[in-house]
């Protein structure tokens, strides 16, 4: 049996006529920059995420970049974030001449640890308050502990940019002013940054991204920055870039958005089935650490985070040999992420290499993502776990 890590063909087969119709509509309109398709998707995504405004952008990376530019982050500034995420989270900080200030993650969720964040912010205050933004990442499709993160950020007066690239539609219990509500990624910080890279839960037929916010002024600044800061046309009070979402992508994404909740549900069903199969195989919690949908860390809140499983990531001690075994048996898998950001060569400064983030480094050394896409069959899920069982138990 062959089980790819991700197969987009069944999704395409089901939606092909409607996607072709959407592409043709944009083609025939001859309006190829922004326009009604982008505006309509912006409204739909904002509503879906529980924010007031959406700004369509060229990628998740450009959403982060536009957010940081709109906050005028630059040389001398620090941006507090996690060392265990996709490179774009840090790359956008560095491109603006600012520097990341890393805080380790929590082992259960792989997300930034608010307790360590509190220590880092207290330290920064003593060193002249250089932290100008905080970027929590909702890794693999599960929200970071946003109640504590936004409370701390408010205490220090620092804006929060949610890197929600992997987490569109992920929900968590959120405490604000003593009340707990159920909130979606991208609705809790100043803004949320989303990616429509094809492997995300909502993926385009190319690159695309979106920023959500409920701050009217901030939405306007980001809108201006995606178009070279031109206001009006050919008059530039700020330097932005070309960060515009393509209307063909917007039209296709609007078709797919209608199916997103069903796809999330299928991924969550697959995750539950994996849990059951790993328990039956006697591997869960022993050879294999399964991903957890953690509780929001709120007294009295007993609801689990609503994880959308952009990735289903296990931790295993013999990661590299298990990976090879799976590949030899035609099971797709991937390491997210083999290196922490502070270990990346592009950070030439020794100052970063000397730092240590034990939880993130442990995750980088032992994480392995298994196939979780919605259209997986039960036979495929059974085969994946049986193949892993053979690795550990033989037979």
Q: Shortest CA distance to 243 belongs to which of 368, 87, 95, 389?
A: 95
Q: Is 60 in the site for ligand PLP (CB under 6 A)?
A: yes
Give least dist CB 8 to ligand PLP, A. Answer: 15
d(CA 67, CA 395): 53
Task: Give yes or no for a contact between 296 and 145, defined as CB atoms under 8 angstroms apart.
Answer: yes
Binding flags for ligand PLP, 243-282, as an x/- string (CB under 6 A):
----------------------------------------
Task: Give yes or no for a contact between 91 and 68, defined as CB atoms under 8 angstroms apart.
Answer: no
Task: Read off the tokens for 281.
Answer: 């195989």
Nearer Cβ to ligand PLP (48/110): 110
Q: Is 61 in the site for ligand PLP (CB under 6 A)?
A: yes
Give least dist CB 264 to ligand PLP, A. Answer: 16
Task: Read off the tokens for 265.
Answer: 């549900």
Residues with Cβ within 8 Å of 153's Cβ and at least 6 positions away in sequence, in order, are 134, 159, 160, 189
Task: Answer positive or negative: Cα dihedral of 43, 46, 50, 52.
Answer: negative
Binding segment for ligand PLP (CB under 6 A), chosen from 80-88, 234-242, 255-263, 290-298, is: 80-88
Q: Is 86 in the site for ligand PLP (CB under 6 A)?
A: yes
Q: What are the phi and psi torsion angles at 152 (to 5°)? A: -65, -45
DSSP state for residue 82 in the 8-state scheme: -
Q: Shortest CA distance to 171 belongs to which of 200, 139, 211, 143?
A: 143
Binding segment for ligand PLP (CB under 6 A), chosen from 33-41, 81-89, 272-280, 340-348, is: 81-89
Binding segment for ligand PLP (CB under 6 A), chosen from 86-94, 210-218, 300-308, 357-365, is: 86-94
Give least dist CB 310 to ligand PLP, A. Answer: 8
Binding segment for ligand PLP (CB under 6 A), chosen from 163-171, 243-251, 353-361, 384-392, is: 163-171
185-244 positions binding ligand PLP, by CB under 6 A? 195, 197, 207, 209
Task: Identify the residue among 113, 162, 163, 246 touching ligand PLP (CB under 6 A).
Answer: 163
Give least dist CB 63 to ligand PLP, A. Answer: 8
Residues with Cβ within 8 Å of 229's Cβ and at least 6 positions away in sequence, in order, are 236, 237, 238, 239, 240
Residue with the shortest CB distance to ligand PLP = 60
User: Where would I find the H helices in the chain?
Assistant: 9-29, 36-49, 60-70, 88-95, 114-126, 146-156, 216-225, 247-257, 260-280, 319-328, 350-353, 358-366, 378-393
Task: Identify the residue among 59, 70, 212, 249 touching ligand PLP (CB under 6 A).
Answer: 59
Nearer Cβ to ligand PLP (11/195): 195
Residues with Cβ within 8 Å of 359's Cβ and at least 6 positions away in sequence, in order, are 84, 104, 105, 106, 107, 113
Give least dist CB 83 to ligand PLP, A. Answer: 12
Cα dihedral 56, 218, 132, 361, rounded to 10, equals -30
Neighbouring CB atoms inside 10 A of 259's CB total: 15
Binding flags for ligand PLP, 131-150, as an x/- string (CB under 6 A):
------x-------------
Classified as helix, coil or strand, 59 is coil
Task: Give yes or no for a contact between 183 and 146, defined as CB atoms under 8 angstroms apart.
Answer: yes
Give least dist CB 181 to ligand PLP, A. Answer: 25
Nearer Cβ to ligand PLP (223/311): 311
Binding segment for ligand PLP (CB under 6 A), chosen from 17-25, 54-62, 254-262, 312-320, is: 54-62
Task: Identify the residue among 11, 70, 82, 89 touching ligand PLP (CB under 6 A).
Answer: 89
Interacting residues with ligand PLP (CB under 6 A): 59-61, 85-86, 88-89, 137, 163, 165-166, 195, 197, 207, 209
């Amino acid at each position: 049996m062959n089980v790819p890590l991700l197969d987009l063909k069944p999704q395409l087969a089901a939606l092909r006529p409607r996607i072709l119709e959407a592409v043709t509509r944009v083609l025939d309109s001859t309006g190829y920059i922004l326009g009604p398709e982008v505006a309509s998707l912006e409204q739909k995504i904002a509503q879906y995420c529980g924010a007031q405004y959406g700004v369509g952008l060229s990628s998740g990376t450009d959403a982060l970049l536009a957010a940081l530019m709109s906050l005028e982050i630059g040389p001398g500034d620090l941006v507090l974030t996690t060392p265990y995420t996709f490179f774009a989270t840090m790359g956008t900080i560095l491109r603006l001449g600012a520097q990341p200030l890393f805080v380790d993650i929590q082992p259960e969720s792989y997300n930034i640890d608010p307790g360590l964040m509190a220590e880092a912010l207290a330290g920064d205050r003593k060193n002249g308050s250089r932290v100008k933004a905080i970027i929590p990442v909702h890794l693999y499709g599960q929200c970071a502990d946003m109640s504590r993160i936004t409370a701390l950020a408010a205490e220090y007066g620092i804006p929060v940019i949610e890197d929600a690239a992997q987490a569109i539609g992920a929900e968590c219990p959120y405490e604000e002013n003593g009340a707990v509500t159920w909130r979606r990624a991208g609705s809790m910080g100043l803004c949320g940054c989303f990616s429509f890279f094809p492997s995300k839960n909502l993926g385009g037929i190319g690159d695309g991204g979106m920023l959500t916010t409920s701050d009217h002024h901030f939405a306007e600044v980001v809108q201006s920055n995606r178009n070279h800061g031109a206001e009006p046309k050919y008059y530039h009070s700020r330097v932005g870039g070309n960060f515009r979402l393509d209307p063909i992508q917007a039209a296709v994404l609007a078709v797919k958005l209608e199916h997103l909740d069903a796809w999330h549900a299928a991924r969550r069903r697959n995750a539950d089935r994996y849990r059951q199969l790993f328990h039956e195989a006697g591997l869960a919690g022993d050879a294999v650490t399964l991903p957890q949908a953690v509780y929001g860390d709120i007294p009295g809140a007993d609801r689990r985070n609503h994880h959308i499983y952009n990735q289903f990531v296990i931790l295993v001690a013999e990661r590299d040999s298990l990976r090879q075994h799976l590949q030899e048996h035609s099971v797709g898998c991937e390491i997210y992420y083999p290196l922490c950001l502070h270990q990346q060569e592009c950070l030439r400064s020794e100052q970063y290499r000397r730092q240590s983030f034990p939880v993130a480094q442990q995750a980088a050394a032992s994480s392995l993502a298994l196939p979780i896409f919605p259209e997986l069959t039960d036979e495929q899920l059974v085969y994946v776990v049986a193949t892993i069982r053979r690795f550990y138990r033989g037979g």
